[in-house]
Structure 1
Amino acid sequence: MHAVSRARLFAVVAAVGIMPAGMAPAEDAFQSFKQMDSTAKMPKLNAFTPTVGRQAPVAREVTLNAKLTADGQPMQTGLTWRVFSPQPGPDGKLPLVASSEGGGAHFQLTPGAYFVNVAFGRAGVTKRLDVPADGEFVPQALVLDAGGFVLNAVAGTDQRIPDSKLRFSIYSAEVREDGERGLVMANVKPNTIVRLNAGTYHVVSEYGEVNASVRADIQVEAGKLTEATLQHRAAQITLKLVSQAGGEAVADTAWSVLTAGGDVVAESLSAFTTMVLAEGDYTAVARNKDKIYQREFPVQSGHNSDVEVLMKDQQPVAGVDSD
């Protein structure tokens, strides 16, 4: 019995790395084991705590509004809001986080940094937005510094131009190094409210499809709507090939219209053709079957008229191939 106890005690002592000098009492060996166990370093439990159960940041309500001018009233309609993350996505673009349309906007956003853009037509502004995790969050106001204009045009002094024959293009006032201006908007219809950031814009008005166009620089003032009417020096002309004055237009007629300098400005294939021409002197050339007819005519600003080319006025036309 005593021999067995000694063997077991030696096994315990060897396990703790203590070589007995003779044979120590059993309680000394167990005391050494107890001391080693108490000094062993164990990993902290929180170092292995999984993140799955952590509470996500609480979203906060963010209120945004926009004004045309710094001292203006918040706008109630016509706004488009977009909120972007500042970190680009895989495509290199800033991801859209939230959007809204109307007047002021209300978003639920988690604390962090964002970019917010508000657009009013072609006017817009972008601002960095920081949403705090705690504390009071004051509603944010963005100033657009924007206004607008309404465009129209007349022929002559006051002749109304049909909307279907009138269009506008809007360019930046600055001329680039290549001599061109940056296009802001194209094919703007008359009497349309165009919303833009405050500044000067270069407007081109085109009446018809040929050569009647005018240009003007127009100022947009923040918080104001400007009405601008441009004046065209042009008129609408209807060409007809007739066998006698006041007669019916002859079918299968090809038309060319030349300036006083001989440049072709318009061509058409019709019994009679209608076009808008800038003020000046022109020559109408009519081709019917194997014959050519011509007539010189003036265009007076604001005076629409019919131009009849008589078949009896057959003449050779210089520079025009009759084939």
Structure 2
Amino acid sequence: MRFSVRRFVTLLAAAFLGMAAPYAAGQEGDASLDKLRLPGLNEYLPPQNRSPLALEEMGQVTLSAQLTEEAGEIPRGLVWRVFSPEPDRNGKLPLIATAQGGTSVLSLSPGSYLVHAAYGRAGATKRITVGSEPKSERLVLDAGGLKLDAVLSGGVRIPHDRLRFSIYEAEPEATGERPLVIPNVKPNAVVRLNAGTYHVVSTYGSVNAVIRSDIRVHAGELTEATVEHRAAQLTLKLVREPGGEAIADTAWSVVTETGEIVRETVGAFASMVLAEGEYTAVARNRDRIYQSDFTVVPGRNQDVELLPDDLVEAADTLTD
């Protein structure tokens, strides 16, 4: 059944006039309909003109990086960051987009940007302009790799869990300190760096077995460097007789020829790695102090025992 809007309005008007009849005596319902004026109504809702929202035009840019001008594109391990060239109110460049992997395709609003490619600790920055047409941008990192290791005299290998490297800039700052590039590098780990000379510090143990050297990294190449530590592992013990059991609760100090204290610890044993040289071991147990000189020979691990004969100050004899 078709029910028109005009028919609905007629019925509604009739109902309204019927309700008002007691208050308008002498008027008839049909005559009242002729006097009723209503605005024109359409039977159907007219279509609305809805246009789609305008989309901002985006430009597409393909980013790739190479170690050198002659090298191929880096396939993986890159981190791309795109910044606005205008700093914000905090003085920082707003980060617009990021991507990881190798060659990456980004969609950006037309305009100027700063693109940074990071490959490990190597990196390069380039200003680019994005338009409506697709384009490609290539960054040359001028970078290589560095692989570090260390041995003892005679080529004896050092346990890797006791060996660490730190890489610094070659040139010191105005304060005399070199800026730290990477701390705690594990042996045989490949570190990606921009080409140049770096100051490398190799530490065996945690006392004074330290080797410093300047190493040059070449673009597009893996530079492997092995340094030699002239040091040894020492264990200090306070005993009542040669080869005897170490006495607990002993305080230890290790002093160099110049009087510098290089290690202090407490325990029955005092184990450490020391650079070659002459040292003095000082042991304090209760109210007694013992002292003995010893020599560190590179690559020769040894036990250093302090005996009752090494007593230099005591109130009583050595007891448990």
TM range (shorter): 0.7 to 0.9
Counterpart Cα distance in 2 of 1:126 and 1:217: 26
**Residue 95 (1) aligns with residue 94 (2):** yes
267-276 vs 165-174, greater mean Cα deviation: 165-174
Q: Which amino acid aligns with 1:105?
A: S
Note the C-alpha offset of 1:255. Answer: 0.7
Counterpart Cα distance in 2 of 1:283 and 1:141: 61
Q: Which amino acid aligns with 1:229?
A: T
Q: Which amino acid aligns with 1:115?
A: L
1:288 alignment partner, one of 279, 285, 294: 285
Note the C-alpha offset of 1:62. Answer: 1.3
The 5 A counterparts of 1:281-320 are 281-316=278-313
Contact 2:60–2:132 (CA<8 Å) still a contact in 1? no
Counterpart Cα distance in 2 of 1:241 and 1:96: 61
Counterpart Cα distance in 1 of 2:203 and 2:222: 22
**Residue 55 (1) aligns with residue 54 (2):** yes
Report the counterpart of residue 85 of structure 1 in structure 2.
84
TM-score by length of 2: 0.79
1:21-75 CA distances to partner (integer Å, 9 max, x unpaired)? xxxxxxxxxxxxxxxxxxxxxxxxxxxxxxx988343212211110000011001
**SS of aligned partner of 1:301:** coil
Note the C-alpha offset of 1:178. Answer: 2.3
Report the counterpart of residue 190 of structure 1 in structure 2.
187
Counterpart Cα distance in 2 of 1:219 and 1:77: 24
Q: Mind listing any 5+ residue stretches in structure 2 that lack a counterpart?
A: 1-50, 315-320
**SS of aligned partner of 2:57:** coil
Contact 2:166–2:182 (CA<8 Å) still a contact in 1? yes
Report the counterpart of residue 265 of structure 1 in structure 2.
262
1:162-218 CA distances to partner (integer Å, 9 max, x unpaired)? 222211111111122222212111122212111110000011111111111111110
Mark the CA change 1:306 to 1:170 in structure 2 (over 3 Å): closer, same or farther: same
**Residue 252 (1) aligns with residue 249 (2):** yes
Mark the CA change 1:110 to 1:262 in structure 2 (over 3 Å): closer, same or farther: closer
1:216-260 CA distances to partner (integer Å, 9 max, x unpaired)? 110100011111111111111000111111111110111111112
Counterpart Cα distance in 2 of 1:100 and 1:78: 11
Counterpart Cα distance in 2 of 1:55 and 1:263: 75
1:153 alignment partner, one of 150, 154, 172: 150
**SS of aligned partner of 1:174:** coil
Counterpart Cα distance in 2 of 1:287 and 1:86: 64
Contact 2:60–2:130 (CA<8 Å) still a contact in 1? no
The 5 A counterparts of 1:19-168 are 55-134=54-133, 137-168=134-165
Contact 1:69–1:145 (CA<8 Å) still a contact in 2? yes
**SS of aligned partner of 1:190:** coil
Counterpart Cα distance in 2 of 1:112 and 1:177: 39
1:225 alignment partner, one of 216, 222, 228: 222
Alignment RMSD, CA only? 1.7
Counterpart Cα distance in 2 of 1:267 and 1:176: 33
Contact 1:57–1:111 (CA<8 Å) still a contact in 2? no
Counterpart Cα distance in 2 of 1:214 and 1:263: 19
Counterpart Cα distance in 2 of 1:64 and 1:81: 8
Report the counterpart of residue 238 of structure 1 in structure 2.
235
**SS of aligned partner of 1:179:** coil
TM-score by length of 1: 0.78
The number of equivalent residue pairs is 264
**SS of aligned partner of 1:157:** helix
